[in-house]
Amino acid sequence: MQLIKMSWRNIWRNKVRSAAVMVAVMLGLVAGLFSSAMVEGVLLSRFHNFIENQISHIQVHNPEFIRDQEVFQTVGGGQIDLETVANWSEVKAATIRSRTQSMIASATYTGGVELYGIRPNSENNTTNFSRHLIEGDYLIGESENAILIGNALAEKMKVRVGSRIVLTFHDKDNNLVSAAFVVRGLFDSGYKRYDESVAFTFHDYLNSHLGLQGDFHEMAVLANNLDDLSSLEEKLSSHFPKSEVRKWNEIEPGLEIIVTSGNMFSYIFLILIMIGLAFGLLNTMLMAVFERTREIGMLMAIGMGKGRLFLLIVLETLFLSLTGSIIGLLLGYGLVKYTGRVGIDLSAFSDVMKELGVDPVFYPEISREFALIIPIIVLITALLSAIYPALKALSLRPVEALQK
């Protein structure tokens, strides 16, 4: 207890220097925490955009369709299979889609898009797609030749809601088919490249042109819980024995990198900041040891053992670093919690955010694992920073130190 009191008093002998170090530690941790949370928030925003807007958790395809994407390479089945899967306890929602590569043309533009034939209700339950509509209506009613296109594509084509466009594609017998569509609505998913490359129409209407009847190329399944994915994958494989069932990380391997790299970037930020703070602490404690050479020599001369002297220097370093760290952690966690609730609006950079597939408003987040390990990293950094100054103090000879 005596050593604790002495070490606490010692760090305040030079109030300005100690306060400066504590403020540096505090600001470093706040910056590290918030930077890590921002990176995690951006990566999670991109992840959820892909999962919720496009691929879902699991997809079912004809194995050959994954490679060739020929119209005749269907899964088979149809509405009955969809209803069966949607009623499973592990499934939150499911939908089926027909897909074909097509040429889209207006009076001023011709380009390529992937045309999806969807079942509006099940699609909206799975991807909540209708929330991305910014103009016009979702696919409802009897207008079978209605089509939804991205606002980015509409600007390229110079068309709006109510415009007529023509799409040309191959049917299952490889015959070239053209069909006229009326633009029912424009959407903005937040990912510009996606919005420029896809279009949506009614499943049955597209199938009538493709000659597929009730078949489908893709089933997308949204699970209630990520922990259910393995069992759900096995169940789908049993239900569709001739089809290939893939989880989200197999469909988009890059997404798995996004998920796993979030914590990696967080640790890199924190470690870099801790290295800088460690050198600051080391320098401060070395200066304190050199300034108190005579005092340390006197303590050793009157009988303070090397172990107690070593512990004294370590305690001073811990108090110096942990005081700033505790305040920094509290401020950092508070800032992350607040911005995680209200979000950070980067609408001014919306064009860049859309290119990255990230919502203009994102929410910083810190994983529980990272939050628990930060105090441990701070403690280890403080201990390592204390070792050299403490050894330097132990290397002093009492007689020589008293003469300085």
Mark whether 154 and 96 lie in a shared domain.
Answer: yes
What are 291-347's pLDDT values in tens digits? 666 766 676 666 677 777 778 777 878 888 888 888 888 898 899 899 888 888 877
State residue 165's pLDDT score.
96
Reply yes or no on whether the pLDDT at 273 is more than 70. Answer: yes
Q: Model confidence at 397, in pLDDT bands (50, 70, 90)?
A: low
Ramachandran class of 69: left when φ > 0, alpha when ψ lies in -120 to 50, beta otherwise: left
As for how many domains the chain has, the answer is 2
Mark whether 91 and 142 lie in a shared domain.
Answer: yes
DSSP state letter for 153: H
- DSSP letters, 361-381, are EE-----HHHHHHHHHHHHHH
Reply yes or no on whether the pLDDT at 360 is more than 80. Answer: no
Mark whether 74 and 202 lie in a shared domain.
Answer: yes
In a domain, 275, yes or no: yes
Q: Phi and psi dihedrals of 362, rounded to 5?
A: -125, 165
DSSP state letter for 57: S
In a domain, 249, yes or no: no
d(CA 216, CA 59): 12
Calculate the CA dihedral of residues 47, 50, 51, 53 and round it to 10 degrees. 140
Beta carbons of 144 and 190 less than 8 angstroms apart: no
> What pairs with residue 399 in β-bridges?
none
Q: Count CA atoms within 13 Å of residue 30 on its CB side.
A: 13
State residue 156's pLDDT score.
93
Mark whether 71 and 209 lie in a shared domain.
Answer: yes
In a domain, 367, yes or no: yes
Nearest to 152 by CA among 178, 113, 123, 179: 113
What are 222-261's pLDDT values in tens digits? 998 888 888 999 999 999 999 999 998 888 877 777 667 6
Mark whether 87 and 188 lie in a shared domain.
Answer: yes
Stretch among 185-194, 303-312, 375-384 having the lowest mean pLDDT: 303-312
Nearest to 99 by CA among 1, 197, 8: 197
Ramachandran class of 363: left when φ > 0, alpha when ψ lies in -120 to 50, beta otherwise: beta
Mark whether 89 and 226 lie in a shared domain.
Answer: yes
Count of Cβ atoms closer than 10 Å to residue 326 Cβ: 16
Beta carbons of 71 and 210 less than 8 angstroms apart: yes
Mark whether 43 and 70 lie in a shared domain.
Answer: no
d(CA 72, CA 79): 18
d(CA 254, CA 56): 15
In a domain, 283, yes or no: yes
In a domain, 129, yes or no: yes
Mark whether 278 and 165 lie in a shared domain.
Answer: no
